[in-house]
Amino acid sequence: MLAVDAIPYQLRTLARGVEVVSEGDDATVCIVVLNGLLATSKVNEFGKRQTTALHVKGDMPDLMGLHLDKVDHDVRTITQSTVARISSTHLSALCAEYPRIAASLWRTTLIDASIVREWVVNVGSRPAANRLAHLMCEMMMRLDAAGLASDGTCALELSQMELSDATGLSTVHVNRSLQYLRGEGPLSFVNGVLTIHDQQALSQFGGFSPEYLHLALRKGRLHRYAAATSN
């Protein structure tokens, strides 16, 4: 019998640019983001890094550890972050004891997978500026769902290089595309603060529609923002 309270975990506060888990590691821990911004990425054969997911407060970037043996990607902090680390075996035990927790975590992994699929679409089929617009819409909505956005503004401390890793563009082109978006009006993005002035215009431009985030299933966290954009 395993009480929820008895689950051991470690709290870690990590500086920016620190690897939490690395490709090839044994999958022994799962982590929960308490605050900050993390990225899952892989480095390809030319040394180019491709980010496959960004993680905000409340996300569990590394649930693979529950059922897989080796980690096949890196998870690193983008900003200073604090995370909880839970051993996979303890979490497994918890899932065995409480099926509804298992179901909830499983659902989380399915939603994360859905977001990654949309990233394939974004990276594979949209021109540079649209791609960035889509990413901005997604992050705004996810941060809002986590209670970290208000009035169309949120902290999104991604450097242009990190944006280029996430979008598969060069940094130079990210820079120019951002200028374009700023110039057109729907968005401003300075010093790690993103403001979306015209949500509808930006969503349309980026081809963003939020169903794939399955926000309604995330603990009733469907906010005004989500409601306003969902159509």
Which spans of this chain sit near DNA (rule: CB under 7 A)? 127-129, 159-161, 168-173, 175-176, 178-179
23 close to 109: Cβ distance less than 8 angstroms: no
Rounded to a whole number of angstroms, the minimum distance from the CB of residue 190 to a second copy is: 26
66 touches, from DNA, a second copy, none (C-beta below 5 to 8 Å by class) = a second copy
Per CB under 8 A, contacts with a second copy among 179-198 are none
Tokens of 100: 């509804």
Q: How would you label 114-151 residue by residue, b for 16+ Cβ within 10 Å and e otherwise?
A: ebeebbeebbeebebbbbbbbbbbbbbbbbbbbebbee
Nearest residue (CB) to DNA, 32 versus 163: 163
Which of 37, 83, 91, 123 contacts a second copy by CB under 8 A? 123
Q: How far is CA 32 from the centre of its chain?
A: 12
Per CB under 8 A, contacts with a second copy among 48-77 are 48, 50, 52-53, 63-64, 66-70, 72-73
Tokens of 15: 């500086």
Please, is 80 exposed, middle or buried when counting C-beta atoms within 10 Å of its C-beta (0-12, 13-18, 19+)?
A: middle
Per-state percent for the chain, helix, strand, coil, to nearest 5: 45, 25, 30
Per CB under 8 A, contacts with a second copy among 11-40 are 24, 40
Does 46 contact a second copy by CB under 8 A?
yes
Does 87 contact a second copy by CB under 8 A?
no
Phi, psi of 230 (to 5 degrees): -70, 0
The single-letter DSSP state of residue 72 is: -
75 close to 39: Cβ distance less than 8 angstroms: yes
Tokens of 178: 């951002």
Does 168 contact a second copy by CB under 8 A?
yes
The single-letter DSSP state of residue 17 is: T
178 touches, from DNA, a second copy, none (C-beta below 5 to 8 Å by class) = DNA
CB under 8 A: which stretch of 112-120, 152-160, 185-193, 223-231 binds a second copy?
112-120
Give contact residues for a second copy (rule: CB under 8 A): 24, 40, 42, 44-46, 48, 50, 52-53, 63-64, 66-70, 72-73, 96, 99, 102-103, 106-107, 109-114, 116-121, 123-126, 167-168, 204, 207, 211-212, 214, 216-217
